[in-house]
């Protein structure tokens, strides 16, 4: 009886692990992005790429601090399959965002979240910077609140992109 109970318990644990692995992934939300230049993208169109979604604002010192590093990530990993989506917070005036992008020559996708719908879909993001790393299947690998740990980001990107 005890052996049968242990076997049943082991089977339940294996089943739970399999279910969690197959069905309970932390999927990125289904959202649509529009860049400052009018380019469109959505969650489905980004599958097959590793995606870094960065919520930021021109008035945020941590955001301004990490933007050159994000630019370097684009330069290093963009051709290997990294897509960067910089999402300006809803309270950031569009003309400030545009001026910042021009001043710092940001070469990646920069979107305005004028109504806050993208931030809301990602868990009602209030603090900037907040960044998500998403794998090729559309699952959230890592969330950073505050300035990212770029050493760790490089490790994850090297692993995900085979770089």
**CATH number of 78's domain:** 3.40.30.10
- Confirm whether 117 is domain-assigned: yes
- 3-state SS, residue 135: coil
- Confirm whether 3 is domain-assigned: no
- Determine which helix (DSSP H) or strand (DSSP E) holds 46, and give its type and residue range: none
Query: Do the Cβ atoms of 123 and 54 come closer than 8 Å?
Result: no
pLDDT tens profile 108-128: 999 999 999 999 999 999 999
Phi, psi of 87 (to 5 degrees): -110, 110
Q: What is the pLDDT of residue 4?
A: 47
Residues 46 and 137: their CA atoms lie apart, in Å, by 9
Q: What is the pLDDT of residue 3?
A: 57
- Confirm whether 22 is domain-assigned: no
- Confirm whether 4 is domain-assigned: no
Sort strands 32-34 and 40-42 into parallel, antiparallel or unpaired.
Answer: antiparallel
Those residues of the chain that have pLDDT short of 70 are 1-25, 163
Residues 2 and 41: their CA atoms lie apart, in Å, by 56
Domain region containing 63 = 27-161
- Confirm whether 16 is domain-assigned: no
Backbone CA torsion sign across 77, 112, 92, 98:
positive
Residues 124 and 135: their CA atoms lie apart, in Å, by 21
- Confirm whether 5 is domain-assigned: no
- Confirm whether 14 is domain-assigned: no
- Confirm whether 138 is domain-assigned: yes
Q: What is the pLDDT of residue 22?
A: 43
Number of domains making up the chain: 1
Residues 126 and 90: their CA atoms lie apart, in Å, by 10
């Amino acid at each position: 009886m005890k052996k049968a109970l242990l076997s049943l318990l082991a089977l339940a644990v294996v089943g739970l692990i399999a279910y969690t692995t197959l069905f309970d992934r932390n999927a990125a939300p289904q959202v649509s992005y529009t860049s400052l230049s009018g380019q469109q993208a959505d969650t489905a169109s980004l599958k097959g790429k590793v995606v870094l979604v960065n919520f930021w604002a021109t008035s945020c010192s941590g955001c301004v601090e990490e933007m050159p590093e994000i630019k370097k990530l684009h330069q290093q990993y963009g051709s290997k399959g990294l897509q960067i989506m910089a999402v300006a917070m809803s309270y950031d005036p569009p003309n400030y965002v545009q001026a910042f992008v021009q001043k710092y020559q940001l070469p990646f996708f920069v979107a305005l979240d004028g109504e806050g719908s993208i931030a809301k879909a990602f868990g009602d993001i209030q603090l900037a910077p907040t960044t998500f790393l998403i794998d090729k299947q559309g699952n959230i690998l890592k969330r950073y609140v505050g300035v990212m740990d770029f050493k760790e980001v490089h490790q994850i990107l090297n692993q995900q992109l085979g770089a």
